[in-house]
Amino acid sequence: MKELELKYGCNPNQQPSKVFVNEGELPFEVLNGRPGYINLLDALNSWQLVREMKEATGLASAASFKHVSPAGAAVGLPLDDILKKVYFVNSDDLSPIAAAYIRARGADRMSSYGDFAALSDECDAATAKYLKSEVSDGVIAPSYSAEALEILKSKRKGSYLILKMNPDYNPPVLERKEVFGVTFEQKRNDIKITSELLTDIPTVNKDIPDTAKRDLLIALITLKYTQSNSVCYVKDGQAIGIGAGQQSRVHCTRLAGNKADNWWLRQSPQVLNLPFVDNIKRPDRDNAIDVYIGNESSDLLDTDDWKRVFKTKPEKFTDDAKREWIAKLDGVALGSDAFFPFGDNIERAHKSGVKYVAQSSGSIRDDNVIETCDKYGIAMAMTHIRLFHH
């Protein structure tokens, strides 16, 4: 098929809408559902991300996309008991690709609500079962087991969007898009993200262990498909905080750092022991946790609203208690899609346990950024590449 009619464009009033290729066939097949314009933007961007992450790490990879940026991305490392509880996993029989998606989805559950999922490997039954239990708009993968396909086709009253991607497809070198009647053309960003980008380390601390290199590669590949400006925090093979589309880089660092803090706070005893009412829906539970660990907790706990979600009234999670728990977060890797102009980005990153940084370099204040890293014993690699994505 060379052309596919879509439901509508970015908005319902933008009709007609379609995707097409000038030569050959479309590189994906619609197995179920009817795609929309944004669905396919998410699908094709997220597929590139997981394909490159699998190539760079050798591990099954997954992403959770919303509005053309990842809410989460991860490789398929095993989940410990705490993460299983945080991510609402009841099964001990998880494949690497299932673990990868669960990690990607769990990075920022609020942002992943209604996501588009991308899988580097075949979607198996374990992954499909987890996907079916979450609010999601669609999935793209190179293949599906018969059982997985049956499970997913029953989701959303049979309308769940399922795309099968041709894993051997490589696009043309030049890419084009049209804005306001003007056609833009550029060479596709096919730069390879490898550990060779992490060899220029100007900081006093030059020790970046293999696990941290893996996490820095995950951060950089994630940023390659995140709307710029962007910053990504990664720990133990998964993004834990992504700041996308901010005009100021320090705002990216703060936004992503706050998300990383929330990911860590969800693993605190205060959150793990929250007395939820029976049969609470996952989105309601996610919202309650977000409010409980946020500045709006008094709005929930100082009124009778808590009775909607909790069996008994929990104690407040005080600012002091939150700071004490966040101080335990350590060994985090941080990537930036361009240079840090000031050391304030490192100051903020340090508060969220960052020990390893990868950024392009090129600021007139690189010395100040390096000095700030040295102040905290952070190892920083200068990649000498920029990863803007628009």
User: Which residue among 67, 129, 153, 316 is the active-site one?
Assistant: 67
User: Which residue among 54, 66, 213, 322 is the active-site one?
Assistant: 66
Mean pLDDT of 106-117: 94
User: Which residue among 170, 273, 295, 390 is the active-site one?
Assistant: 390
- pLDDT digits over 60-89, tens only? 999 999 999 999 999 999 999 999 999 989
pLDDT grade for 371, boundaries at 50, 70 and 90: very high
Q: Please, which residues have CB within 8 angstroms of residue 212's CB and are 6 or more apart in sequence?
A: 331, 333, 355, 356, 379
The 3-state DSSP class for residue 212 equals helix
Q: Report residue 174 CA to chain centroid gap.
A: 27
- pLDDT digits over 322-348, tens only? 999 999 999 999 999 999 998 999 999
Q: Where are the beta strands (DSSP E) in the chain?
A: 3-5, 18-20, 28-32, 61-66, 69-75, 115-119, 136-141, 161-165, 174-179, 182-187, 230-235, 238-244, 332-336, 354-359, 379-382
- pLDDT digits over 200-226, tens only? 999 999 999 999 999 999 999 999 999
C-alpha 117/C-alpha 139 separation (Å) is 4
Residue 179: strand pairing partners: 182
Percent of the chain with pLDDT over 90: 92
| Annotation marks residue 251 as catalytic | no
Mean pLDDT of 146-154: 97
The token duo for 285 is 């539970």
Q: Please, which residues have CB within 8 angstroms of residue 193's CB and are 6 or more apart in sequence?
A: 52, 56, 217, 220, 221, 224
Residue 357: strand pairing partners: 334, 380
| Annotation marks residue 384 as catalytic | no
Provide the residue type at 213 as one letter: K
Supply the mean pLDDT for the chain. Answer: 95
- pLDDT digits over 242-282, tens only? 999 999 999 999 999 999 999 999 999 999 999 999 999 98
Instruction: Report the 10 Å Cβ neighbour count for 32.
Output: 20
Mean pLDDT of 336-365: 95
Distances from the Cα of 249 to the Cαs of 52, 256, 271, 343, 368, in angstroms?
25, 11, 31, 11, 16
The 3-state DSSP class for residue 183 equals strand
User: What pLDDT score was predicted for residue 302?
Assistant: 85
pLDDT score of 298 more than 80: no
| Annotation marks residue 259 as catalytic | no
pLDDT grade for 91, boundaries at 50, 70 and 90: confident
pLDDT grade for 297, boundaries at 50, 70 and 90: confident
| Annotation marks residue 67 as catalytic | yes
pLDDT score of 195 more than 90: yes
Measured in degrees and rounded to the nearest 5, phi and psi for residue 213 equal -60, -45
Q: Report residue 25 CA to chain centroid gap.
A: 30
User: What pLDDT score was predicted for residue 66?
Assistant: 94
User: What pLDDT score was predicted for residue 361?
Assistant: 92
User: Which residue among 45, 229, 262, 345 is the active-site one?
Assistant: 229
